[in-house]
Amino acid sequence: MGPCSRILFHGKKMGSFNFISAAKFDHLFSKIPSNLGQHRNFLKDPDGVLGFRQVKNSNLGPNCVQESRVLVGLICRGLGSVRFNSTSVESRVNENSFERIYVQGGLNVKPLVDVIDKDENLVGRDEESRVAFEVEGKKDVGVSVNFDEGEVVVSSGRVETEAEKEAWKLLREAVVSYCGSPVGTLAANDPGEKLPLNYDQVFIRDFVPSALAFLLKGEGEIVRNFLLHTLQLQSWEKTVDCYSPGQGLMPASFKVRTVPLDENKYEEVLDPDFGESAIGRVAPVDSGLWWIILLRAYGKITGDYALQERVHVQTGIKLILNLCLSDGFDMFPSLLVTDGSCMIDRRMGIHGHPLEIQSLFYSALRCSREMLTLDDGSKNLVRAINNRLSALSFHIREYYWVDIKKINEIYRYKTEEYSTTATNKFNIYPEQIPNWLMDWIPEEGGYLIGNLQPAHMDFRFFTLGNLWSIVSSLGTPKQNNSILNMIDAKWDDLVGHMPMKICYPALEFEEWRIITGSDPKNTPWSYHNGGSWPTLLWQFTLACIKMGRTELAWKAVDLAEKKLPADHWPEYYDTRNGKFVGKQSRLYQTWTIAGFLTSKMLLENQERASLLFWDEDYELLDICVCGLSNSGRKRCSRFAARSQILV
């Protein structure tokens, strides 16, 4: 290994370097509060490794070691350079003037262990932890248990069905503990599975429906632990071949590992995967967005807003936003990502600006705007969020929307238009409209396409992106309604035997070969390539509740309830109508189980469900920062555009 060799730090692989000058090192070092060195866990060793030491936390159990946040990293010896991991996060959004997050709020942030230590109600107390909490002034009873007869009466007064009973049992069995406290759920918990791959990990995105199920049942502890522990992992040193992705990235998943010590002792360590072990080394862009969304949901449902107000939690939000809002080469307000950066975490031709990422990004921005503590340090960030929300919603509503009328427009597009006033801005060749779409698009309804790039529209229907656009009001109220109309009209294709298709239609033949790279797992109508994913049920349910279409949600839930227990709660289904349990589908997949439970609870607690979605924000529609609207010479393209789509 060369001078930049990886080193082991408390059993963790660390490495990768971002060189700064010795002068900057001194300058930054001088900003470390003088009393920090006296902190019992602060480490500044002669090798230049600075940070918080691993600390034993006796409250968490005798053998529990929690790796605490590494504040500043490695001196790269021989090169006289140093990496400062989290000393200062400078954002370059527009005017380069967001807070320097760690200098102001981070270097003296306590290691999370200390923070968790002091929290009441956090350390595992299995039975008492199932406490009911107040929801907006109303006592939420969650469930009441009739121990004599073994029956559980849900809050709406009916007895829990067999499927629900089994689902709760399985969900609880999937709970992962760390130092005696619940911190998440396994992706899948199939006792018959010999090769768990990484399904024995806690995935950030997969945990969301589990979290909602627990929250809706009145059990906030696991969610709170999850949020705090994953926050701690956010600043972990991570590398792929000595290159570090941006600070603020949340892992795709984590695992609790038991590491042997001397004399028959062991310790538990949280081991995150930021994509460095994931198949294809995909970047989990959606993890941070889901984390923000869940943080807001936790506050809304439990009423515990203190968590999101904590300094280090605020810092966590800002780090994620800094990553998302930093300037790049983009021409669009949508987020530019690589293939496989979300629920579809394999090559599926969704690189660029996939809808799923855009709708989660939009939701996360809306959540952050609600949760950020307003002060001098955050006001530029909030301004940037508002500008981005406005530009993003315009972009998606105007350019991603298709219905029969719009397709006809594209069909008649002129091409090679050079000017700022072009109608066919992205130079889409009409020949790109696929044959299936011409036949398929109904008279009523429409949807947001999967992706938009120069000269490229991906016309596939991606379910999660469309549903989450409804939930977050990324689409207009009319568009949101139309999406559900289309799902209704195309029920057999999009729901069929099992809600719901991850995308429609499948890539087949030459397209499959070229776009997926001949992926044998993503064969036509299987897995990510047109497979049916029961976990999408909860997002569908939420969207239906928001739009007042609960009959559709009930229809889907009934279908799922009949099949899922009999099929052992599969991860996905295959074939054009979702008839067969997927070729390589895991059984006892946790987000299938939790998605089903959450859907039922949302339908029976619609007031609570309303805490999880957003209405149209009319003020956002008026924001335009391009500065052209008032100048006589050029017209702002947004105002010149078909503005009827905005309402």
In the complex, the residues that contact ligand GLC under the rule CB under 6 A are 187, 203, 205-206, 343, 345
Q: Which is nearer to ligand GLC, 541 or 592 (CB)?
A: 592
Provide the minimum distance between the beta carbon of 218 and ligand GLC in the complex, in angstroms, as a whole number.
Answer: 26
Q: Which is nearer to ligand GLC, 461 or 572 (CB)?
A: 572
Q: Which is nearer to ligand GLC, 203 or 401 (CB)?
A: 203
Q: Would you state the torsion angle of the CA atoms of residues 321, 322, 328, 330, taken in this order, to the nearest 10 degrees?
A: 20
Q: What angle do CA 414, 416, 420 make, to 5 degrees?
A: 95
User: Is residue 437 exposed (0-12), middle (13-18) or buried (19+ Cβ within 10 Å)?
Assistant: middle
Q: What angle do CA 475, 481, 483 make, to 5 degrees?
A: 75
Provide the minimum distance between the beta carbon of 195 and ligand GLC in the complex, in angstroms, as a whole number.
Answer: 14
For CA atoms 178, 183, 187, 192, the dihedral sign is positive
User: Residue 529 pairs with which residues in a beta bridge?
Assistant: 526
Number of alpha carbons in the 13 Å side-chain half-sphere of residue 53: 13
Provide the minimum distance between the beta carbon of 502 and ligand GLC in the complex, in angstroms, as a whole number.
Answer: 9
8 A C-beta contact, residue 479 and residue 512: no
Provide the minimum distance between the beta carbon of 203 and ligand GLC in the complex, in angstroms, as a whole number.
Answer: 4
Provide the minimum distance between the beta carbon of 602 and ligand GLC in the complex, in angstroms, as a whole number.
Answer: 21
Written as six digits, the tokens of 319 are 């780090």
CA 67/CA 503 separation, integer angstroms: 39
Q: Which residue is nearest to ligand GLC (CB)?
A: 187
Provide the minimum distance between the beta carbon of 591 and ligand GLC in the complex, in angstroms, as a whole number.
Answer: 6
Q: What angle do CA 39, 42, 46 make, to 5 degrees?
A: 130
User: Is residue 277 exposed (0-12), middle (13-18) or buried (19+ Cβ within 10 Å)?
Assistant: middle
Provide the minimum distance between the beta carbon of 342 and ligand GLC in the complex, in angstroms, as a whole number.
Answer: 7
Provide the minimum distance between the beta carbon of 108 and ligand GLC in the complex, in angstroms, as a whole number.
Answer: 35
Q: Which is nearer to ligand GLC, 68 or 341 (CB)?
A: 341
Q: 458 — phi, psi (to 5°)? A: -95, 105
Going through 404-480 in order, the beta strands assigned E by DSSP cover 446-453, 456-462
Q: Which is nearer to ligand GLC, 124 or 595 (CB)?
A: 595
User: Is residue 2 exposed (0-12), middle (13-18) or buried (19+ Cβ within 10 Å)?
Assistant: exposed
Q: Which is nearer to ligand GLC, 345 or 488 (CB)?
A: 345
Q: Which is nearer to ligand GLC, 279 or 455 (CB)?
A: 279
Q: What angle do CA 295, 300, 305 make, to 5 degrees?
A: 70
Q: Which is nearer to ligand GLC, 220 or 570 (CB)?
A: 570
Q: Which is nearer to ligand GLC, 154 or 502 (CB)?
A: 502
CA 528/CA 192 separation, integer angstroms: 23
Provide the minimum distance between the beta carbon of 119 and ligand GLC in the complex, in angstroms, as a whole number.
Answer: 28
